[in-house]
Amino acid sequence: MPAEAQPGAGEGMSAGDGRKPLLRALGGEVVWPPPLWLMRQAGRYLPEYRELRAQAGGFIRLCTTPELAAEVTIQPIRRYGMDGAILFSDILMVPWALGQKLRFAEGEGPVLEPLRDAASIAALQPEALRERVEPILDTVRLTRVALDLHAPRVALIGFAGSPWTVAAYMVEGHGSRDFHTARGMAFSDPTLFGRLIRTLVDATTDYLVAQIEAGAEAVMLFDSWAGMLPPSQFRRWVIEPTVTILRNVQRLHPSVPVVGFPRLAGPLIGEYVQRTGVSTVAMDTAMDPRFAASVVAPNVGLQGNLDPPALVAGGAALEAETRQILAAMRGRPFVFNLGHGIEKVTPPEHVAQLVRLVRSGG
């Protein structure tokens, strides 16, 4: 894996500082040009991924076969030499490991047997989680060994979905524009919904700790549907559970950066960061980086937030959007990323253009 031979890999380090640039920035240091990685960088826009996925025999199979999942995790590093490799997996592997039926239907997205009542929530199997995620932890171990050998400047990022977002899928049973059922249960039966959230807080904590102990050097909490909640519910179902997870993970592993991604939190991003104590907060595409910088303490990292369609467009649009973000973030602890997952139709050469641009520091 010739990642280290890639021009630019590992740039941005001060001479004599041996720590990985991504971990320094996620931990609150200013590193410039900023380190970068891209959400869903291991994915369908890469021909080598599509080829491997076609052979793997299903998405869950791919996520639970360590050799394949590790290879997919490393593919974008080999091509572009990003500063971070994110574990190839899915936020719904936690419900799957809790015993909820899950399948990934081609072209249709994930389908879960929906949880709608106390009995189905009580039937979840938290005691089974640790064993069921073992193949995913093996992926972490394998990937870490490969990176240490071939790309020692690249940090390995583990992740999980946040309780609110994962619960929304578990109750709804599938992706949704509105998650009416889940939002309805949160209002009409907060006791029952709270029981599901507590199960997920514990499972997520254990899962992240296990990823760290298997070799993940930073972890990220994806709360893709945080922005669906009004402020009172955002505090109850997004902030409070995240506070508990962070406290428990950081008690055991105080030096591992935790990235929070409360997507579409809007003006509540400042309160989220202050209450949860995340090391870095990821900005979604709609977030004005200058606003985030004005409400987030200067020793907390920011990550983001290029709009994926600008990466599809490439050329002048990509350059203008990228330069604006870099200009707004100069002087901050910052990690360049997208504000949402990379699109399937992204031309791989546009990713190369973006990496060059960011490596030049704007």
Q: Which residues are known catalytic residues?
A: 40, 44, 53, 90, 169
Q: Verify binding: residue 287, its own copies, rule CB under 8 A.
A: yes
Q: Which helix (H) or strand (E) holds 156?
A: strand 155-161
Phi/psi for 258 (5° steps) reads -115, 125
Q: First and final CA of the chain: distance in angstroms? A: 28
What is the nearest approach in angstroms of its own copies to the Cβ of residue 327?
Answer: 11
Count residues binding its own copies (CB under 8 A).
Answer: 44
Residues 6+ apart with CB under 8 A from 59: 53, 90, 104
Q: Verify binding: residue 232, its own copies, rule CB under 8 A.
A: yes
Contact 34, 110 (CB under 8 A): no
**Subset of residues 245 to 274 that bind its own copies, contact rule: CB under 8 A:** 264-268
- C-beta closer to its own copies: residue 30 or 295: 295
The one segment of 14-22, 67-75, 148-156, 284-292 that binds its own copies by CB under 8 A: 284-292
The one segment of 8-16, 162-170, 227-235, 243-251 that binds its own copies by CB under 8 A: 227-235
* CA atoms lying within 13 Å on the CB side of residue 127: 2
Query: Per-residue string for binding with its own copies, 310-349, x by CB under 8 A?
Result: x-xx-x-xx-xx--x--------------x---x-x----
In the list 108, 187, 360, 361, the residue contacting its own copies (rule: CB under 8 A) is 187
What is the nearest approach in angstroms of its own copies to the Cβ of residue 310?
Answer: 5
What is the nearest approach in angstroms of its own copies to the Cβ of residue 270?
Answer: 9
Q: For residues 235, 241, 243 and 246, what is the CA-based torsion angle, rounded to 10 degrees? A: -150
- C-beta closer to its own copies: residue 339 or 362: 339
Residues 6+ apart with CB under 8 A from 107: none
Contact 190, 182 (CB under 8 A): no
Helix ranges (H only) for 108-230 are 118-122, 129-132, 134-150, 163-172, 180-188, 190-214
Q: Verify binding: residue 114, its own copies, rule CB under 8 A.
A: no
Q: Verify binding: residue 286, its own copies, rule CB under 8 A.
A: yes
What is the nearest approach in angstroms of its own copies to the Cβ of residue 154?
Answer: 27
Helical axes 348-359 vs 66-80, angle rounded to 10°:
60
- Separation of alpha carbons 316 and 328, rounded Å: 18
The one segment of 59-67, 286-294, 329-337, 354-362 that binds its own copies by CB under 8 A: 286-294
Q: Which residues would be at the binding site for its own copies (CB under 8 A)?
A: 175, 177, 180, 183-184, 186-188, 190, 227-234, 264-268, 285-289, 291, 305-307, 309-310, 312-313, 315, 317-318, 320-321, 324, 339, 343, 345
